[in-house]
Amino acid sequence: MAYSTTATKLPRVSAEIAAKIDQELMNEDGFSIDQLMELAGLAVAECVHTTINQSDSNKNVLILAGPGNNGGDGLVAARHLYMLGYKPLVYYPKPSKSTLFDGLQTQLHKLKIPFIPASETDQNSLQKAFNDSIYIVDALFGFSFKPPVRGVFIPAMRMLTDSKKPILAVDIPSSWDVNNGPCSDFSYNPEILISLTAPKKSADHFKGRHFIGGRFISKEFAEKYGFKVPPYVGLSQIWEEK
Amino acid sequence: MAYSTTATKLPRVSAEIAAKIDQELMNEDGFSIDQLMELAGLAVAECVHTTINQSDSNKNVLILAGPGNNGGDGLVAARHLYMLGYKPLVYYPKPSKSTLFDGLQTQLHKLKIPFIPASETDQNSLQKAFNDSIYIVDALFGFSFKPPVRGVFIPAMRMLTDSKKPILAVDIPSSWDVNNGPCSDFSYNPEILISLTAPKKSADHFKGRHFIGGRFISKEFAEKYGFKVPPYVGLSQIWEEK
């Protein structure tokens, strides 16, 4: 009798399907981006809380937030991490221009969460933030990333690849191709990955603890797109694939 | 040595302060109503999950949703309850006309969650939904309720006051005055209350299990308005006052 070694792995989706899922959630299923991002960010915060070293007295968590929705998930996660008792530091070098993203920033400013200044030439502040933190959240680029890495993101990606701290990648590790995985000099392999809504094909290139988050999908919706709702337990917004 | 019997009670806020808190969250702190409602509804769902009889094989939960934001919290809770494995039934007789509320309804329709039809003369369907459910969520009226109870809400309120099922009231029990508590023929005393953001003065008239939800307030914000952030534990979005 043969046993599949991948019995507990959920099916992966392609870049094309991932984009269609987001479109259907917002266009046909009535979700606002505010709602989806709130739940995604909460799932990311739960994932940090679950995988961080709880005995560490240093509670600094560095969140690297990119210019797109992946970065928005990171900004929401920063707020929830604050509420959970952590001390988030945020690097958000290319702020998005929209009411939602303005609001996400304001929420963090009102909580006096520090934002690390960004410049291409002087990356001392960012390096110090890496050094001072016990855990890094990589929310730079999501599934719509196209290489190459540019500008202020180059030093940030270099520090990510060099860091010895635990790193949680949001949805896919930054600078990976969503279908094919590592595709640039900066394509590092983080310790932890949280796939949002559905795991992408690139997750097969990932070595580490893999969580799924985004508990707003029905069984029927998942089946339509060829993936599965994870067997979430109790109130948890995340599930670990083993 | 004297012991205060109210040592673990959080301070209450007035109707006026409750309105100011909501205004500041949205006008100055950058929150969208979508975000706040999502987190409030999630807290309500967690409260149901925490207080429902888990050994009951019947998973029907009836959500009574009014025309305002209290009803919106109920609609969001219905979705999360579905995700948690319950079978929500929704009574939403006076739908609000806004993109957000249209979206909340669409999300539930896509999950094939049944909506109980409403009419003033025939309330058999609603009575059947009460009979068939193991737990009722009262999200009819929030802190801006002004008496009297009217129209389609009269039979719903009568069924609430007559029901022997566990009832969770969202923010304040429907038809209560936010400062003074019971103020009409329908002012029942539910088994469970979840105060959102901060407990209102009327909570002092409540006899039952009292939870606080709305984990998006900082210590400084709460102090400014004379209330306190509950000592939330772990990842929980709710805290029980004892």
Provide DSSP, A6-47: TTTPPPPB-HHHHHHHHHHHHHTS---HHHHHHHHHHHHHHH
Dist. CA B3–CA B30, nearest whole Å: 41
Nearest by CB to B30, from A32, A49, A104: name it: A104
- Find all residues with CB under 8 Å of A7, minimum gap 6, and list them: none
Task: Provide the whole-model pTM.
Answer: 0.96
Write down the pLDDT at residue B77. 98
Query: Number of residue pairs across A and B with CB atoms under 8 Å?
Result: 80
Going by the annotation, the residues of the binding site of B for K(+) are: 70, 138, 174
Write down the pLDDT at residue B7. 54
With an 8 Å Cβ cutoff, are B31 and A83 in contact?
Answer: no
Around A93, how many Cα atoms within 13 Å sit in the side-chain half-sphere? 20
Burial class (CB in 10 A: 0-12, 13-18, 19+), A227: buried
Q: Which amino acid does the sequence have at B102?
A: D
Query: Which ipTM score applies to this complex?
Result: 0.95
pLDDT tens digits for A139-175? 999 988 888 999 999 999 999 999 999 999 999 999 9
> Both tokens of residue B162?
């007559």
Q: Which residues of A touch B234 (CB under 8 A)?
A: 49
Nearest by CB to B102, from A30, A221, A235: name it: A30
pLDDT tens digits for B62-118? 999 999 999 999 999 999 999 999 999 999 999 999 999 999 999 999 999 999 998
Q: Which one-letter DSSP state was computed for residue B13?
A: B
With an 8 Å Cβ cutoff, are B82 and A30 in contact?
Answer: no
pLDDT tens digits for B183-208? 888 889 999 999 999 999 999 999 99
Percentage of residues of chain A with pLDDT beyond 90: 89
pLDDT tier for residue B215 given thresholds of 50, 70 and 90: very high
Whether residue B147 is preceded by a cis peptide bond, meaning omega within 30 degrees of 0, is: no
Nearest alpha-carbon partner for B237 in B194, B180, B186: B194
With an 8 Å Cβ cutoff, are B30 and A84 in contact?
Answer: no
Residue B4 has pLDDT above 50, yes or no: no
- Find all residues with CB under 8 Å of A27, minimum gap 6, and list them: none
With an 8 Å Cβ cutoff, are B234 and A38 in contact?
Answer: no
Which stretches of A86-238 are DSSP H helices?
A: 99-110, 124-132, 153-162, 219-224
pLDDT tens digits for B10-39? 999 999 999 999 999 999 999 999 999 999
pLDDT tens digits for B129-180? 999 999 999 999 998 888 899 999 999 999 999 999 999 999 999 999 999 9
The length of chain B in residues reads 242
